[in-house]
Amino acid sequence: MQKITTFLMFEGKAEEAMNYYMSLFNNSEVVNITHYGADMGEFEGKVIHATFTLNGQQFMCIDSTVKHKFTFTPSVSLYVTCESEEELDNAFEKLSQDGEVLMPLGAYPFSEKFAWVNDQFGVSWQLSLGKK
């Protein structure tokens, strides 16, 4: 059975980002994680590959050993439909801390409460209040 999973590539902060995201959403856990060994020099302890869940949704991440000319872009974002205003407000507060607000928290024609942020790791998040 084919499965499509969001795969996030970091440059040394994969485990920190993964743990941070899991602290924001209920029903989140590390499924598996593999680290680079001592033979990898400066990459020792960094993530070769990890699978984790955020509110039951599976994601994968790595720490790249190659410095790329690209990083995350807001043209691809994680869209979160929040069950309550409290959940949305909490996620917005934490994800925007040390990040960048692309669309401030507020009412929009497409959502009674919505915000769009790039977090401290560069990952883009759209947060919307679910229909009541």
Contact by Cβ (8 Å): 59, 89: no
| 131 pLDDT higher than 80 | no
- The per-residue pLDDT for range 70-112, each reduced to its tens digit, is 999 999 999 999 999 999 999 999 999 999 999 999 999 999 9
- The per-residue pLDDT for range 17-32, each reduced to its tens digit, is 999 999 999 999 999 9
Q: Which domains, and CATH codes, for the chain?
A: 6-63 (3.30.720.100), 78-129 (3.30.720.110)
| 14 pLDDT higher than 70 | yes
- Count CA atoms closer than 13 A to 101's CA, side-chain side: 12
- The per-residue pLDDT for range 29-80, each reduced to its tens digit, is 999 999 999 898 889 999 999 999 999 999 999 999 998 999 999 999 999 9
Phi/psi class of residue 12: alpha, beta or left (left: φ > 0; alpha: ψ in -120 to 50)? Answer: left
CA distances in angstroms from 90 to 32, 94, 106, 128, listed in the order given = 27, 6, 14, 12
